[in-house]
Amino acid sequence: MSVRFFLILSLLLASCSSLPEIRPSADAGSACPSPFVVQKTRFIHTIEAAVAGETRSVMIGVTVADPASRTLSCALMSPEGMVFFEASRTPSGTNINRALPPFDAAEVARGMLDDIELIFLKPPEEIDRAGVGDTGRTVCRRRLRDGGWLDVGKDRDGGVHIQRYTEGGRLRRSVALAAGANPYAALELQASEWTGYSLSMKLIELETVPDEIRSGK
């Protein structure tokens, strides 16, 4: 009986979801925000992870994002330096080098890399629609090739938001980035799943990474 109830509830929630309205605006297309990395960069953040609103762990995250090759590498470690997750992603696939529980579950590792890609790499799809949302935020919307929609919006105070929706309009991920010259100085990610979780990230260090020079030997 309980299983049937949750199935019905999920169908009702899905049927009630819809994408937020975007009102046309002549200036929106030229003002589309793009907080994403523009050159190969290494980030070090402190990360507070919370499940169901309760802080579970504090970690150090190291991310290298390269928009030219669309590659990512990341490591998560304890404040004492113990590495419990290390992985990389390229257009050809994902490689997990180290994964201790709970990151050893395939869906957890994949979700972690999906979140990192959402935060740091500009989506390859073209903008489908641009305008102004209900709150006055400038919003630029893309239809994603693997299904669903991605909105990137900018508030009047300069704060940038990235929001990913399902095909039917249910919000799956929401990222709030800092206003100012460096949007990655502080950010909040909210994941809307059956068990929701959030990541609060504060920047410790940032540096650009020069491309390797190959000798041609």
pLDDT at residue 54 in the model = 75
Tell me which residues of the chain have a pLDDT lower than 50: 1-15, 213-217
Partnered with residue 61 across adjacent β-strands are 45, 76
183/162 Cα distance (integer angstroms): 12
Phi, psi of 21 (to 5 degrees): -70, 140
Phi, psi of 211 (to 5 degrees): -65, 145
80/74 Cα distance (integer angstroms): 17
Contacts of 201 (CB under 8 A, 6+ apart): 45, 46, 47, 48, 61, 184, 186, 187, 188, 189
pLDDT at residue 5 in the model = 41
pLDDT at residue 203 in the model = 98
Cα distances (angstroms) measured from residue 204 to each of 44, 161, 184:
5, 21, 10
168/170 Cα distance (integer angstroms): 6
pLDDT at residue 183 in the model = 94
pLDDT single digits (tens) 134-185: 788 899 999 999 899 999 999 988 899 999 999 999 999 999 999 888 999 9
Q: Cβ distance 19 to 149 under 8 Å?
A: yes
pLDDT at residue 212 in the model = 63
pLDDT at residue 11 in the model = 42
Burial of 179 (0-12, 13-18, 19+ CB in 10 A): middle
The secondary element (H helix, E strand) that includes residue 176 is: strand 171-177
pLDDT at residue 134 in the model = 79
